[in-house]
Structure formats: C-alpha cells, structure tokens
Amino acid sequence: MHEMSLAEGIRDIVQDQARAHGFTRVTVLRLEIGRFAGVEKPALEFAFDVVMRGSPAEGARLEMIDLPGRALCYDCRMTVEIADRFDPCPLCGGGRLLPAGGDEMRIKDMEVA
C-alpha cells in the first residue's frame, strides 16, 4: 500500500512547514490528485488518519481535489482533457496522444491555527 508512504511524505511536509511558519495545528489539508496518479483515495484517507497521529495535522480534515488527465494530440496539436490514457482526442478523434498531465499529487494548501 503505497498510500501509507504518501501520507508519511505529507506528514513530513506538514512538520517542516509548522517549524518554518510557527503553527501548531492543521485543521484542513487540501491535496490535488491527478486522474492518472494511481492513488487509491480511501486507502490514502485511512493512511492519513493513522500517520498524522501526534503531528500538527492530527484530526485534520483531508480534502482531495481531482485534477483531469491531459494530453497533447499530435494530430490537431491541441492539449485536451482525457478520462483514460488510451482515449482518443475528444476534438479530432486522433489516437496519437502524449500524456501531459494528470499524474501529479501535491498539497494545494492548508488551513492552520
């Protein structure tokens, strides 16, 4: 379950930011997760609750924001949103697509006290 290591990485970032900015508690943490990031959200929620114990984010609400998959179409030369890596271009129907986004995961922001 790699979601546990993702939660540990988030905890490390939260602790670093708490030291750097002097806050003691995170009430809400918002994550942006790309469609192709391979993150199982229920597993990440569980891991987040477990890993954050004893950290400034213990008890924080985790909000996950979905980011679309994106690809560059070689046929029409447009960047388009796609639901699946193997979908055709929704504009021209072309099948020559280069994934250009949707595999990222990042902390968007935190509400702190």
Per-residue pLDDT of the chain (113 residues; tens, 9 = 90+): 599 999 999 999 999 999 999 999 999 999 999 999 999 999 999 999 999 999 999 999 999 999 999 999 999 999 999 999 899 999 999 999 999 999 999 999 999 99
Nearest to residue 37, comparing CAs of 3, 60, 63? 3
**pLDDT value of position 55:** 98
**Per-residue confidence (pLDDT) for residue 43, from 0 to 100:** 97
Instruction: Answer yes or no: are the C-beta atoms of 38 and 69 closer than 8 Å.
Output: no
Q: Are 73 and 30 in contact (CB under 8 A)?
A: no
State the pLDDT at residue 22. Answer: 96
- Kindly list the structural domains of the chain, giving each domain's residue range(s) and its CATH number in brackets, ordered by start: 2-68+102-112 (3.30.2320.50)
Angstrom distances, CA of residue 45 to CA of 4, 9, 111: 10, 14, 18
Output the pLDDT for position 1. Answer: 57
Give the model's pLDDT for residue 79. 97
